[in-house]
Every structure is written in structure tokens, then in C-alpha cells.
């Protein structure tokens, strides 16, 4: 029960990211830099309080994939935060939850995993859901919504890359892995941010500072800490089911707190998208496996 509570709390925290970001008067890259830097510091403190030590040999042996995954993490956050600037939190979240579809599409080629008939059906349903969401935006001539949803999809592609790259990182603890990735992401974003924004980041409005600290410590640090603490003792199917607390909270915040509107077709599209990714992760529903995989050498 403790593990489930920890995991659910992490999903609730992740679901509030869009709301917190709305109150930070910075560019998406600046937000990503600060959240990764503050989150890294917070988790490093937790790491040492737990009397853990970094495995430098493992870090060295996994260096390439740690670097690539950190680039994916940085791109994921930059485009997700950018998505919140142009569309509703609900649309950005739904676009972002297309990531499992990207993973399913790429797994046969990257991980050599066969693609089952069930997953093919789920991919088709997810695409239909996305078409409904985007189609409504086009019909209503909401250019910003389309742009925001596009950024959300790019963020989803980066997140899918992160998930796949993490499969190649061997023998590292989840907390240690997250600290390294956050720290590397911050280092990679620094030259980009300072070359594009200069040191204007340090002239942020005083009203944004509390939300920057919340984004770094709560949404990133505490969120990831609870996430990894909870998932250690949970089964994969439980993790898949509880993960949908995140978009549920985000959509509730969008509708109730920010009063952002969605059409009925967009709601239907969102339901199809989330349902398809949910069903794809439920192992009790079995279909025959298709021979869709890359040839072995």
C-alpha cells in the first residue's frame, strides 16, 4: 500500500507541472535548465542522506547512452514546456501521451521486439484519437492549439527516445541514473540558454521564483523520488494502470482550475488515445504475435 501511495503521489505531482509552468516568466529552455539543475541538487542530497555512493565504473561504461538519454530528456522538457505556452494543458498532455505509441512503433527496430496484433490495433486507435484532437483544432482554426499539440508530440518523441535509450543502460540504480541524467541535461542546456538568452534568466520576476523552486524541488526532485520509491515494489501492470493518474490530474486542472475548454470530439479523441496506450500495457489481454521485426544479422 505504501508503494502505491508513493507512486500515486508522484503521478499527482507530475500532473500539476503544466499549472506550475504557467506561472514562470521564462522561456521553455530556461525552465528546463532550472528544473533539471534544482532537481539534480535535491536528488543528490537525498542520495547522500540514504548513504549511497555513485558507481563511477558503471557511469563510465554507460557514458554514451547516458549522454544520449540526457539529450532526449532535455529535448523532452523543452518541447513539453513550450507546448504549454501555446495550447491547453489538456491538449499538451494528450499530445505528450502519444509517447507509448512511438515506443511501440520503434521497438521492433530498436529493441528487436515483435509487434503483436494487439499493439497494432492500439496504435491505430491512438492515431484515430489524435486525428480527432487535431482535426477539431484545424476546423476551429486554432493555430496556437495545433502548434502547441505539435510541440507536445515532439516532446513525446523525445520521451520515447529516452525510454528506449534507458533500455541500453545496464546495472545502474534508478535514483543514481536520474541524478546523472538531470545533471548532464543541465550541463548541456547551459551553453544553449546562455547563448540565446544571455544572463536574462537571473532577472526573472520575483513572482516566478517560488514556482521555479516548486518546479525544481517538488515536480522534479520529490516527484522523481516518490516515483522510483513507489515503483520498486509494484508490478508492471500496476505501474501502467496508476500512470494514468498523471493525465487525469492534468486534464482536471485544465478544465476546473484554468477553465480551458475541450470540444466533445477532442474529449473522445483523448479518451481513445489514453485507452489505447492503457490497453497496450495490460498483459491479460492477449492477441497473436505478428512477424513484424527487423531481420537479425
What average pLDDT does this structure show over 40-51? 94
For residue 11, the model assigns a pLDDT of 92
CB 152 within 8 A of CB 96: yes
CA-based nearest residue to 231, from 285, 284, 173, 297: 173
**Dist. CA 110–CA 103, nearest whole Å:** 9
Better pLDDT: 54 or 296: 54
Could you give the percent of the chain with pLDDT greater than 70? 89
With b for 16 or more beta-carbon neighbours within 10 A and e for fewer, the 180-215 pattern comes to bbbbbbbebbeeebeeebeeebeebeeebeebbebb
pLDDT of residue 278: 82
Helices and strands: H and E segment counts in the chain: 15, 0
| pLDDT tens digits along 12-33 | 999 999 999 999 999 999 999 9
pLDDT at 141 over 70: no
Mean pLDDT to the nearest integer, 123-127 = 89
pLDDT at 46: 92
| 237 — pLDDT class (breaks 50, 70, 90) | low
Predicted confidence (pLDDT) per residue in 184-208, tens digit:
999 999 998 988 876 667 778 889 9
Q: Where do runs of H (alpha helix) occur along 50-62?
A: 56-61
Per-residue pLDDT at 118? 85
The rounded mean pLDDT for the chain is: 86
Say what the pTM is: 0.86
Give the tens place of pLDDT for each residue, 59-109. Answer: 999 999 999 999 999 999 999 999 999 888 988 998 898 888 898 888 888
- Coil, strand or helix: which one is 225? helix
Q: How far is CA 240 from the centre of its chain?
A: 14
| pLDDT reading at 218 higher than 60 | yes
Between 243 and 49, the more confident residue is 49
pLDDT (0 to 100) of residue 297: 38
What's the pLDDT band for 112 if we cut at 50, 70, 90? confident
On the question of pLDDT at 238 being above 50, the answer is yes
On the question of pLDDT at 291 being above 50, the answer is no
CA 184 to CA 203: how far, in whole Å?
24
Going from the C-alpha of 70 to that of each of 159, 246, 262, the distances in angstroms are 10, 22, 34
pLDDT of residue 187: 96
Tens-place pLDDT, residues 249-289: 998 999 889 888 877 888 898 898 888 888 877 764 444 43
- Mean per-residue pLDDT for 116-140? 78
Amino acid at each position: 500500500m505504501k508503494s502505491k501511495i508513493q507512486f500515486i503521489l508522484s503521478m499527482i505531482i507530475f500532473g500539476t507541472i503544466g499549472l506550475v509552468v504557467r506561472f514562470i516568466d521564462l522561456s521553455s529552455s530556461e525552465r528546463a535548465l532550472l528544473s533539471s539543475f534544482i532537481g539534480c541538487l535535491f536528488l543528490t542530497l537525498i542520495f547522500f542522506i540514504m548513504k549511497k555512493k555513485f558507481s563511477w565504473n558503471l557511469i563510465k561504461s554507460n557514458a554514451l547512452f547516458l549522454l544520449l538519454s540526457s539529450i532526449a530528456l532535455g529535448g523532452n522538457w523543452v518541447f513539453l514546456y513550450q507546448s504549454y505556452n501555446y495550447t491547453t494543458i489538456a491538449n499538451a498532455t494528450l499530445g505528450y501521451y502519444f509517447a507509448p505509441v512511438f515506443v511501440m512503433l520503434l521497438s521492433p527496430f530498436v529493441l528487436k521486439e515483435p509487434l503483436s496484433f494487439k499493439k497494432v490495433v492500439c496504435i491505430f486507435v491512438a492515431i484515430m484519437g489524435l486525428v480527432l484532437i487535431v482535426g477539431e483544432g484545424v476546423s476551429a482554426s486554432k493555430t496556437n492549439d495545433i502548434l502547441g499539440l505539435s510541440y507536445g508530440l515532439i516532446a513525446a518523441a523525445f520521451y520515447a527516445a529516452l525510454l528506449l535509450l534507458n533500455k541500453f543502460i545496464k546495472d545502474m540504480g534508478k535514483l543514481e541514473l536520474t541524478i546523472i541524467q538531470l545533471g548532464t541535461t543541465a550541463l548541456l542546456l547551459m551553453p544553449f540558454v546562455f547563448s540565446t538568452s544571455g544572463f536574462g534568466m537571473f532577472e526573472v520576476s520575483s513572482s516566478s521564483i517560488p514556482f521555479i523552486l516548486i518546479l525544481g524541488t517538488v515536480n522534479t526532485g520529490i516527484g522523481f523520488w516518490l516515483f522510483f520509491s513507489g515503483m520498486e515494489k509494484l508490478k508492471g501492470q500496476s505501474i501502467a494502470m496508476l500512470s494514468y493518474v498523471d493525465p487525469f490530474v492534468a486534464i482536471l486542472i485544465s478544465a476546473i482550475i484554468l477553465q480551458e475548454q475541450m470540444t466533445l470530439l477532442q474529449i473522445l479523441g483523448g479518451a481513445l488515445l489514453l485507452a489505447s496506450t492503457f490497453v497496450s500495457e495490460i498483459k491479460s489481454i492477449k492477441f497473436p504475435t505478428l512477424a513484424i521485426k527487423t531481420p537479425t544479422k
